[in-house]
Amino acid sequence: MTITPFTAALNPIAVHLGPLQVHWYGVIIASGVILAVLLAVREGRKRGIDPDDIYDMILWALPAALIAARLYYVVFQWSYYSQHLNEIVAIWDGGIAIYGSLIGAGLVVFFFCRSRFIPVWLMLDVAAPTVIMGQAIGRWGNFMNQEAFGRVTSLAFLQGLHLPQFVINQMFINGAYRQPTFLYESTWDLMGFVVLMSLRHYPQLFKQGEVFLGYVMWYSLGRFFVEGMRTDSLMLLGTIRVSQLLSVVLFVGAIFIWIYRRRTNPPTDYLAGNPFRERTKLSN
């Protein structure tokens, strides 16, 4: 059965509030963040991390992640933004880099946990599965903006993937059907969420820090291949895809750190939780 192509794109505006336009991009990303925080709080309680500490950390981490994500993108697209300075803050139109957000948020997590007597590795472990779940949801914001797409393909190929018609319609971009790379990455991230959530409570399986390192390896592996299919990659020296290069560095680095920590000074089991929980309560 052949599906008749219908190429009307979805409206990226969710609602108009007077002169204010609320974009689906922002709504979807915010939904992913909220769900991620709720799941992190739930797991944090089990591991001896006070929910208030997580909420406090998020108040610092979210702005830092957003600013770093935009700066990362703008830096590698400076040839454009140097001529359109007024568009640098227009994040509602897309153009934020996940790797940039992870760098910004990671710095906040490090300094915040040091100040609250919370093991940094433990906090990263608690957050990692929820972060990759948030990334899976957030890619649908790219879908609504018709960005993060791949090379030209055919209607028959998209139909062969058994995609809903609204997804196929949205993949008609600039006069041609495109590979739904947003969907490939979203699916990979969702699989990573399921794997990490399923394994992290097995006794003596993970040392502190290894859930996070597992997340880094899983995400960077998938991102490397998906990035190779995209047509809007940030480039270095005109030929190197920045995200692919960073994915290789992170994947190899995570493996090295995992092995090094196990051989030199085996860390505490993940399920042991926060050894400083009483001191953390006093500091609050």
User: Is the separation of the CB atoms in 12 and 23 below 8 Å?
Assistant: yes
Distance from C-alpha of 189 to C-alpha of 22, rounded to nearest angstrom: 26
Whole-number Cα distances in Å, 253 to 84, 87, 225: 36, 35, 18
User: Is the separation of the CB atoms in 182 and 138 below 8 Å?
Assistant: no
Residue 31 CB contacts under 8 Å (≥ 6 apart), including other chains: 137
Distance from C-alpha of 48 to C-alpha of 245, rounded to nearest angstrom: 36
DSSP state letter for 231? S
235: which 2 tokens?
């480039």
For tokens 């610092």, name the residue: 60
The H-assigned helical ranges of the chain are 24-46, 51-76, 78-81, 98-116, 120-145, 155-160, 165-170, 181-199, 210-227, 242-264, 277-283
User: Is 139 annotated to bind ligand?
Assistant: yes
Q: How many CB atoms are located within 10 Å of the residue 64 CB? A: 17
For tokens 């051989």, name the residue: 263
Distance from C-alpha of 218 to C-alpha of 220, rounded to nearest angstrom: 6
Distance from chain centroid for Cα 213: 15
Residues of each annotated binding site: 139
